Amino acid sequence: MKKIFIAGHKGMVGSAIIRKLSSDKSIKLITRTRGELDLTSQKEVFEFFDSNDIDEVIIAAAKVGGIFANSKYPANFIYENLMIEANIIHASFINRIKKLLFFGSVCSYPKDTQQPIREDSLLTGPLEITNEPYAIAKIAGVKLCESYNNQYGVSHNIDFRAVMPTNLYGYGDNYHRDNSHVIPALIRKFHEAKVNNLEYVDIWGSGNAKREFLFIDDLAEAALYVHNLSKKDYSSITSSNVSHINIGYGDDISIRDLANLISKIIGFNGSLRFDHDKPDGAMLKMSDTSKLKSLGWSPKISLKEGIRLSYEDFRKSLNNL
């Protein structure tokens, strides 16, 4: 039986990976909560790997948040993410684990790169300043996987891979008023505005920025698809210095149109007010997913359907907010 350690199994990405793998009787999933294992502690991580017979690793653990959280806690975002990925990747190597999958982020690409964003755009220009510390940490994780492959891939037969997901949403999302991403933030805002019969909802930025969004179950399916590709197929669309693969929906939407769509799904009948004094972030951010699609994967859940499912999930979680 294959033993796979899912780091960050309680988070949105990790939970989706667990849902996809839990029915496979040939796999034993190994998980630890934050209270059981501090992934920022090298000592704890090394002891955990040394005492568990692990075959494969999927790193879904990360400290994440929206523009507000990234701006307020930059030190936390860069330090915690660097420690998590460095500890797990090196512990995997010294424990002779052959296969590992790391989740990067589309925000790691330069702010003003060409659209849609190709994998070889990484490190070709300045980052968006509002999430630079988080992005730098994610770039480091991608390059850690790449560097271990380049140095030890042949001699130790390791295969450490990285994927670059676009903006994610769906089951298990974070609906915190200040620290959430755009879709869960808007879902909560419009729901509360509807319940309280408000006349309008305030939205950060001009509404003109465009974003690509991928439902979390599609992300999990795509990530496992990449993880299980043969070395031949994976190598056919990567190189020694561009070894990661984008995962995205393949289309984008303006924040204004997104807000209108969410308000309709929730049934809010008031108006929208855009706060131009608040930052938009990057104006365009869509992934070029042609590499992954060339190998046969494409998303299944539309944005409209995904938001409907997300709103149902939000309503179920109201007592825990």
Closest to 96 measured CA to CA, from 45, 152, 151, 144:
152
Give the span between the Cα atoms of 220 and 84, in whole angstroms.
Answer: 20
**What are the angstrom distances between the C-alpha of 2 and each of 54, 59, 60?**
8, 17, 18
Q: What is the identity of the amino acid at 284?
A: L
Tokens found for residue 49: 């790997």
Q: Are the beta carbons of 5 and 54 closer than 8 angstroms?
A: yes
- For residue 210, report the phi and psi dihedrals to the nearest 5 degrees: -115, 140
Closest to 105 measured CA to CA, from 86, 126, 81:
81
- Say if strands 2-7 and 56-59 run parallel, antiparallel, or are unpaired: parallel
**What are the angstrom distances between the C-alpha of 223 and each of 136, 176, 216, 232, 242?**
21, 26, 10, 17, 17
- Say if strands 2-7 and 27-30 run parallel, antiparallel, or are unpaired: parallel
Dihedral sign of CA atoms 52, 145, 135, 298 in order: negative
Active-site residue set: 134
